[in-house]
Amino acid sequence: MPTPFLNRWISGTALCSTLLLGTPAALASDDFLSQAYKPDTLRQLTLDQTLTQLAPDADPRVMRLAARALSCADPDAERLAVIDFSLPSTEPRLWVFDLQRRQLLFEELVSHGQGSGNTMAETFSNTPDSHQSSIGLFRTKNSYQGSNGYSLRLEGLEPGVNDLAYQRAIVIHGADYVSEAFIEQTGRLGRSYGCPAVRQEVTAPLIDSIKEDQYLFTYYPDPEWLASSNFFHCDRDEAQLALN
């Protein structure tokens, strides 16, 4: 659940929708809604509005924070993955966006670390051998074949929050404990040593979609991080939230 700080941060910024419902005649058109969500229309939206339109099941406040962080780090980025660790592991909580084509590429289950919790992730760490997940903004690196199969290295960009991710071998990889069948058996996903593990069936295409200098934003309503992250308090103009 968003913290009071997060609610204040969001409410202090105007959220304006560019999409209008139009005239009654337009509403009567069979293809009006499909036309409204075409990529040309999405180009008129700010990044956070675009993410929310593409992933309507995601919390728009989390998408706004992800957009803010990306605008500070790299407003010209082509791909962005977002994980909302405030959701239980039994729900899809990973989204991958193609920012150039304005497309949602993946909406997936994703695991958290053994040390972070059971069904719900509640504690996070930057400490080696903690087996906890980390929050914050990451840059993706190269893919490789490792002990967990096809995997993707991550570079944590936030000092003291996730900057030891590479050293900790926090990577995206596939796992057989990430599946609906595992949820049916145990009531939750299996847990990793801190890595965001995904379904085996989507591992290769998902990794290939965000490898090599793209971005991953992982969220949890941690008040200290929300108040202090440089990626929420940079000097870039608010207009840089726009994709154009």
Q: What percent of the chain has pLDDT over 90?
A: 77
The first and second tokens of residue 8, run together, are 């204040």
Q: Identify which has the larger pLDDT, 41 or 167.
A: 167
In the predicted structure, residue 14 carries a pLDDT above the cut 60: no
Q: Is the pTM of this model over 0.85?
A: no
**In angstroms, rounded to a whole number, what is the distance separating the alpha carbons of residues 218 and 157?**
12
Average pLDDT over residues 211-237: 91
Average pLDDT over residues 162-169: 98
**In angstroms, rounded to a whole number, what is the distance separating the alpha carbons of residues 185 and 15?**
42
> pLDDT at position 41, please?
53
Average pLDDT over residues 199-209: 98
> pLDDT at position 234, please?
84
> pLDDT at position 208, please?
98
**In angstroms, rounded to a whole number, what is the distance separating the alpha carbons of residues 215 and 232?**
15
> pLDDT at position 42, please?
57
> Checking DSSP bridges between strand 103-108 and strand 149-156, what pairing results, if any?
unpaired
> pLDDT at position 235, please?
62
> pLDDT at position 6, please?
47
- Buried (b) or exposed (e) across 189-206, using 16+ Cβ within 10 A? bbbbbbbbbbbbebbeeb
How high does pLDDT run on average in the chain?
85
Average pLDDT over residues 48-64: 97
CB 114 within 8 A of CB 130: no
In the predicted structure, residue 154 carries a pLDDT above the cut 60: yes
- Buried (b) or exposed (e) across 110-138, using 16+ Cβ within 10 A? bbbbbbbbebebeebbbeeebbbbbbbbb
> pLDDT at position 176, please?
98
